[in-house]
Amino acid sequence: MNTELVITDLHANVADKEILKGVNLTVKPGTVHAIMGPNGSGKSTLAYTLAGHPGYQVTGGEAWYQGQNILELAPDERAKLGLFLAFQYPVAIPGVTVANFLRAAVNAQRAEEGKDPKQTAMPMAQFRKELREKLTELEVDESFVRRYLNDGFSGGEKKRIEILQMSMLKPSMAILDETDSGLDIDALRIVSQGVNRLAEQNGEMGALVITHYQRLLNYIKPHFVSVMMDGRIVREGGAELALELEEKGYDWIREEVAAR
Amino acid sequence: MNALSTLPNLTDTQIIEAAQRRGEPGWLVLRREAAWKAFVEAVPPIWRRTDLSKFQPDRIIAPEAPSATRLTWDESLAAQGVIFMPLVEAAKSDDPIVRDRFGTAIDAHSHKFNALHAALWQDGAFLYVPKHVAAEAPFVASFGLNADGVSFAHNLVVLEEGSSASFVEEYSSADVNGQAFSNPATELFVGAGALLRYVVVQSWGAGVYHIGAQRVIAGRDATVEWVSANLGGKLQHVEAEIALTESGSRVEWQGVTFATNKQSLLTAPVLRHVGTNTESHLEFKTVVADDGYSSFDGLIKIEKDSKGTATRLEEHALHLGGKGRTDSIPGLKIDTNDVARAGHASTSGEIDEEQLFYMRARGISRAEAIHMIVMGFFDPVLERIPSEDVRGRVTAAIEAKL
């Protein structure tokens, strides 16, 4: 089974406007792959398209993961393959507590066809124990789990709860969409530590880290950096590329692309 | 003998004789007789949002005796003077509290169905809580259908000054082939400074017409926390009213309605602010699916002598696709210049695709996500049900419809 995420010539529209114009990208297991780029370059569209948002129409290309073209799967089937999207704007679900939501998600991913969900469900005691551990690691107060998911949460709280979900679900391929936006420096540190801890625990986890700023990459060290512009990957490099972008901005790449 | 006869063949003599055979006091027999006369003379009501065109009243069989009242409570409270027993038994003992209060909150002559109820009621509970007694465990009255598919339940609840209690009224049955009929009435009197938690759960099986009335009279500084769950039956028409008659009384009134499969469920709450500095908060949540129809026909009246009233009405409807419909006709009638606050908020919409996507991105299937969103939509109301058992039954009844 191929645990690389291999994206080939991916085209996608939002409201009939082409945003992704042929993305080629491979995310290897056990690596952190950063996608950087100016606003409006299509970074978040790539994240949503990979996760299967119904508002994003794939018009061409493929994205293979675990032996399947995930673009043909429903969003929940992609999640069950181990794909996780940490949302830039997490959605509130009033009436559903953080704890109940997490339990439903964990058990949905453990469910197996033809088996009683009660059999495959994580035992309650184990769930509580794991949840308590993750809450401590992410410095989230226990009272949070009884609150309705993301309902009235601050920006920073929402991002922590995203990483909490990720820690509980233990994905094999994590996509982090602008997880640093709206975070103060303390929250950024805690969230980044959460991601790094998960990567350490699962040496095979791949991570696609989408960010506008280099700041996050001080905390989550990328193995590869790809630059996205106008719906395509236009340049690839190592961690040093992020620093170069921080220093020089995006204009020099734009000029380079224009000159091609 | 368990039945008298069908309505077209029923006579006042039959009703009177049956009441006498049961040993009912004279005043109650007279009430039945008068109510039957009112029923016979009254024209059928014309309700804009309750369609009775397929209803066959001639098939209703009048019951001869109570059959389906089940009462559950903490019997040790009897030592403190608490009474919880079938109302017909309390009436037979000619308890003055029953005699003085019965039929005073709901006017038997207001329309044909209330008259029919007052003539034929058999089942039902009498709850009496003396002054300053705090009853912890809920009083649960459960009703089913008799062998002829009818239920006429009358409940009378009297909470004396400074007392507190939870009264739960539950209607449930299996699905019925053809037509069944439930025609209840509940009268509740809440004394000065008393706290009543009142829960009504309507989860009849398919085929049941549930047409009834509920009325609460709240005294000075009384608090009423009222939760209605309207889930079952073929058609519901419930006229529910609370009168905040004395100063400082308040009500927190919440409801959930879930209409599916051609059900028509109407709730018509009326809130009367009569005393000064009274407060009300109404929150009704409705979900419709398939061809279900739900209507909320509410009225808040702030009467002439009511000063310093604070009221807020919230209604929220969720459409799960299909041809389900909701109507909302909230009314506010103010006859005074001195209102502290009066607010109204209303939303209606379909399940948010962003919520669905977010949940599915975590591995939760579309069907389960919808299930969770609906249960979450109802949750703030359900969590106010004071008994875990009852909450569990309501949750199960909702889940069975999803």
Count other Cβ atoms within 10 Å, centred on residue A201. Answer: 10
Task: Name the residue facing B379 among A54, A95, A101 (closest C-beta).
Answer: A95
The count of structural domains within chain A is 1
Count other Cβ atoms within 10 Å, centred on residue A2. Answer: 11
Whether B362 and A148 lie within 8 Å, measured CB to CB: no
And the tokens for B382?
A: 């359900």
Q: Residue B1 pLDDT > 80, yes or no?
A: no
Cα B127 from Cα B244, distance rounded (Å): 21
Do the domain assignments include residue A137? no
Cα B270 from Cα A80, distance rounded (Å): 50
Among the candidates B195, B216, B246, a domain finishes at B246
Let me know whether B81 and B199 are in one domain.
yes
Cβ atoms of B103 and B37 within 8 Å: the answer is no
Whether A105 and B364 lie within 8 Å, measured CB to CB: yes
Cβ atoms of B151 and B145 within 8 Å: the answer is yes
- In this prediction, residue B322 carries a pLDDT of 78
For residue B8, the 8-state DSSP code is G
The predicted complex's ipTM stands at 0.97
Query: Which residue range is the domain that position B380 belongs to?
Result: 352-402
Cα B150 from Cα B146, distance rounded (Å): 6
Q: Residue B94 pLDDT > 90, yes or no?
A: no
Let me know whether B71 and B185 are in one domain.
yes
A169 contacts in chain B (CB < 8 Å): 362-363
Helix (H) or strand (E) holding B19: helix B12-21
Query: Which residue range is the domain that position A251 belongs to?
Result: 5-92+171-259
Q: Coil, helix or strand for B238?
A: strand
Distance from CA of A100 to the nearest CA of B (A): 9
A53 contacts in chain B (CB < 8 Å): 357
Among the candidates B231, B246, B261, a domain finishes at B246
Count other Cβ atoms within 10 Å, centred on residue A74. Answer: 14
Whether A93 and B376 lie within 8 Å, measured CB to CB: yes
Do the domain assignments include residue A226? yes
Cβ atoms of B121 and B24 within 8 Å: the answer is no
Q: Residue B83 pLDDT > 60, yes or no?
A: yes
Taking residues A107-136, report their average pLDDT. 94
Taking residues A127-149, report their average pLDDT. 95
Percent of chain B whose pLDDT exceeds 70: 100
Do the domain assignments include residue B336? no
Do the domain assignments include residue A117? no
Contact residues for A118 (Cβ-Cβ < 8 A; gap 6+):
none
**pLDDT grade, residue B180 (50/70/90)?**
very high
Among the candidates B226, B246, B266, a domain finishes at B246
Pairing mode, if any, of strands A148-149 and A173-177? unpaired
Q: Minimal Cα distance from B365: which residue of A?
A: A76
Task: Name the residue facing A85 among B354, B361, B368 (closest C-beta).
Answer: B361
- In this prediction, residue A2 carries a pLDDT of 66
Cα A87 from Cα A176, distance rounded (Å): 7
The count of structural domains within chain B is 2
Per-residue pLDDT reduced to its tens digit, B129-170: 999 999 999 999 999 999 999 999 999 999 999 999 999 999
Do the domain assignments include residue B306? no
Do the domain assignments include residue B312? no
Task: Name the residue facing A95 among B362, B365, B377 (closest C-beta).
Answer: B377
Do the domain assignments include residue B267? no
Q: Residue B321 pLDDT > 90, yes or no?
A: no
Count other Cβ atoms within 10 Å, centred on residue B307. Answer: 17
- In this prediction, residue B44 carries a pLDDT of 93
Crossing angle of helices B388-401 and B366-382, in 10° steps, is 150
Do the domain assignments include residue B263? no
Do the domain assignments include residue A248? yes
Q: Is B54 exposed, middle or buried (0-12, 13-18, 19+ CB in 10 A)?
A: exposed
Crossing angle of helices A239-248 and A251-259, in 10° steps, is 100
A125 to each of A118, A146, B315, how far by Cα in Å? Answer: 14, 17, 39
Taking residues A125-143, report their average pLDDT. 95
Q: Is the pTM above the cut of 0.90?
A: yes
Do the domain assignments include residue B339? no
Cα B219 from Cα B199, distance rounded (Å): 19
> What's the alpha-carbon Rg for chain A, to the nearest Å?
18
Do the domain assignments include residue B320? no
Enumerate the β-bridge partners of residue A149: A93
Per-residue pLDDT reduced to its tens digit, A16-41: 999 999 999 999 999 999 999 999 99
Most A CBs within 10 Å, among B360, B362, B366, to test the A interface = B362
Percent of chain A whose pLDDT exceeds 70: 99
